[in-house]
Amino acid sequence: MTDDDVVDSSRRHFLTVATLATGAVGAGLVAVPFISSLNPSARAQALGAPVEVPLGSIQPGEMIRIIWRGKVVYVLRRTKEMLARLKGHDDNLRDPASEVVEQQPDYAVNEARSVKPEYLVLVGSCTHLGCAPIEDFEVRPTESWSGGFFCPCHGSKFDLAGRVYKGVPAPTNLVVPPHRFVSDDLILIGQDTGAA
């Protein structure tokens, strides 16, 4: 064996390792878009696929809107004061105990109408004619208003749990969509299998 054969063998080994490494990196770069394409598209999510909503950036008293199945869904992080305001005005509400079962899943049949009282998830569509109620969280005792949602089109009012007031055009409470907590700071809207 000559010195030239030793050099050739180390070059071959280097070229083999370099080719395998380049191939592995290339395969990884090709696999990432392919695997990403398996996730549902934004259009598919809007048509019905469950939507994940991260909760970490929502401050107490703040509400965000997301789209699910072509509908606006409100996610409100209620403060302790907001939760306290749910008590004491049942006489003013049309369905304070959420007895219309089509309006919420079984796990949301409670005073807060939620899985975890701090977070309220509602379809933002008035049950009268489908208008979008606006948030009006300011307390106005002179108007007997403890905050909630107001539909400016026809005057329907809902409390901070989406329960409808008496004497307004809306016949039922705002709808609570199926949802579950994947973790403490992540909600999956559109699927409630395994809801706590």
| Position 155 confidence tier, pLDDT thresholds 50, 70, 90 | confident
Q: Is residue 106 part of a domain?
A: yes
- Could you tell me the residue range of the domain that residue 117 belongs to? 42-189
Q: Which helix (H) or strand (E) holds 53?
A: strand 51-54
> How far, in Å, CA of 2 to CA of 172, rounded?
92
Position 42 pLDDT exceeds 70: no
pLDDT on residue 137 = 85
Q: What is the DSSP code string of 139-194?
A: -BGGGTB-SEEEETTTTEEE-TT-PBBTTSS--SPPP---EEEEETTEEEET--TT
Do 32 and 126 lie in one domain? The reply is no
CATH number of domain containing 89: 2.102.10.10
Which of the residues 13, 89, 128, 154 is marked catalytic? Answer: 154
Three-state DSSP state, 98: coil
- For 158-174, how does the pLDDT look when each residue is reduced to its tens digit (9 = 90+)? 999 999 999 999 899 99
Do 32 and 94 lie in one domain? The reply is no
Position 1 pLDDT exceeds 60: no
Do 51 and 109 lie in one domain? The reply is yes
Tokens describing residue 53: 């909503």
Q: How far apart are the first and last CA of the chain?
A: 73
pLDDT on residue 11 = 77
pLDDT on residue 54 = 92
pLDDT on residue 80 = 95
Whether residue 13 lies in the annotated active site? no
Between residues 36 and 132, the one the model is more confident about: 132
- For 10-20, how does the pLDDT look when each residue is reduced to its tens digit (9 = 90+)? 777 788 888 88
Position 51 pLDDT exceeds 80: yes
Do 30 and 95 lie in one domain? The reply is no
Do 76 and 126 lie in one domain? The reply is yes
Do 168 and 86 lie in one domain? The reply is yes
Do 130 and 51 lie in one domain? The reply is yes
